[in-house]
Structure 1
């Protein structure tokens, strides 16, 4: 939708009890949520809104600030304001499955498989494959330590995927699983199938507990190319170690995501006997 069309659809009433900025916020919010305004649509400039609606700059700024706070609008310096891609929420306090979570949020998950191989950690070759677009992978010693592999076990299943929602890259995911737990798993079609579902149905490996560590990073050139962002864009590296109910570690995953598309939310409670509750930690992903 063109900016002038957006202005034409904004109907503000000077006599209404609702403040003008709230009327503007509500009208634009409705257009965005109904799909009349699509992600990436450019919004009218501040001057255009002031002139067309005969309102103050303060009114326009309050409305736009509210929409930015809600994640519905994004500002680009020197370019203007645009409809943001929809925010996707993830509760990290609970066990997480990318495929299921995307579908719950109304997005269609998909994956591009970059590496699907069985790796011998004792071999001199690097654990990552050249097919991954030269994106670095954790060193074999790190993988062995994170998985706490028995000395007698050398092989791991290595799956590197670009995880997408509605065709937009969200996560670059690098997963390692002890091969003795899942022999033959590399034959799966993980461009379309869920890895966790395959592990559960074929090998009775069911995720019971996981620990995630989140670190701020600058996305490198190879990762940025896959995530469709500029090199050195701020991002997060999320490492995950997953356990079976027996306590055995069966997965180590290292993921990279663009910080502009991911927001973490932590809810805190007072530490009293009556108010003591589990923390709710959410990840909001913008497509």
Structure 2
């Protein structure tokens, strides 16, 4: 069944749900189920109109809602395409890459680029509260979802907190390994977000053009006692990252009027 046939089967003109929402829902399902892959073209507005017998404004509303979600992108003069895989970061809760990837229906993976012990520079030592002369583990990894590279992550961990840590421990979820092997669990974190341009090595590793737009996230994580145990730098291409922030006015309670 091709895309247009799937739309015809999924859209019911007699249903109470607006047609544009039905069309968007049907296309969304084709993407999430893997029928339409990243960079696949969608049928043209004209083709969808003809197949479903609906007006162009209805189809445009459906496609616009998917563009707003970041699921598809419009390319001038070329049409509408499935967007590259994107990680959505919710800023009001602790971020778990592996959990977010699985929630999106994909499989997380990591490629360890380097694992070493070194003397940290001053910013790293300050972030981790380390005295002079104390070493850290430095772990550099590519984070992937369904084998698509999503980010480049460099983590620094105090050696004294994780004696015996080895490269084999960081091939999966780092936080799960630290909790299971050393009883250290993330309870809070501070993150700083910056827009940056990719350097040559970063661009090559992330499969992007040199000096293309990206986010740089500097994170310091602490356990339940407020003890810092990880400082990391994450570089993520701009087209693979979306941020979600829930805002609430201080002192305002939302609920039914009494």
Sort the TM-score into its range (normalised by shorter chain): 0.7 to 0.9
Q: Is the 8 A contact 1:235 1:256 kept in 2?
A: yes
Query: Aligned residue for 2:3?
Result: 6
Where do residues 1-287 of structure 1 align in structure 2 (5 Å cutoff)?
5-11=2-8, 20-50=19-49, 55-85=54-84, 87-121=86-120, 140-151=121-132, 153-191=133-171, 193-275=172-254
**Alpha-carbon spacing, 1:40–1:187, altered in 2? closer, same or farther (3 Å):** closer
Distance 2:21 2:101 in 1: 31
Distance 2:63 2:34 in 1: 18
**Alpha-carbon spacing, 1:206–1:26, altered in 2? closer, same or farther (3 Å):** closer
Q: Is the 8 A contact 1:157 1:186 kept in 2?
A: no
Superposed CA RMSD = 2.8
**Alpha-carbon spacing, 1:149–1:41, altered in 2? closer, same or farther (3 Å):** same
Q: Is the 8 A contact 1:118 1:186 kept in 2?
A: no
Question: What's the TM-score, normalizing by structure 2?
Answer: 0.83
Q: Give CA deviations for 1:173-197 in whole Å, capped at 9, x if unaligned.
A: 0001121222321353422x33223
**Alpha-carbon spacing, 1:216–1:7, altered in 2? closer, same or farther (3 Å):** same
Task: Between 255-264 and 41-50, report the one with greater CA deviation.
Answer: 41-50
Question: What's the TM-score, normalizing by structure 1?
Answer: 0.76
Distance 2:74 2:138 in 1: 39
Distance 2:177 2:19 in 1: 54
**Alpha-carbon spacing, 1:108–1:53, altered in 2? closer, same or farther (3 Å):** closer
Q: Is the 8 A contact 2:90 2:243 kept in 1?
A: no
Unaligned ranges ≥5, structure 1: 122-139, 277-287
The offset of 1:53, in angstroms, is 5.2
The offset of 1:142, in angstroms, is 2.1
The offset of 1:90, in angstroms, is 3.9
Q: Is the 8 A contact 1:10 1:24 kept in 2?
A: yes
Q: How many residues align?
A: 253
**Alpha-carbon spacing, 1:34–1:253, altered in 2? closer, same or farther (3 Å):** closer
Unaligned ranges ≥5, structure 2: none
Task: Between 196-205 and 161-170, report the one with greater CA deviation.
Answer: 196-205
Distance 2:106 2:6 in 1: 28
Q: Is the 8 A contact 2:86 2:239 kept in 1?
A: no
Q: Give CA deviations for 1:98-117 in whole Å, capped at 9, x if unaligned.
A: 23443344321111111100
Secondary structure at the counterpart of residue 233 of structure 2: strand
Query: Aligned residue for 1:130?
Result: none
Q: Is the 8 A contact 2:85 2:240 kept in 1?
A: no
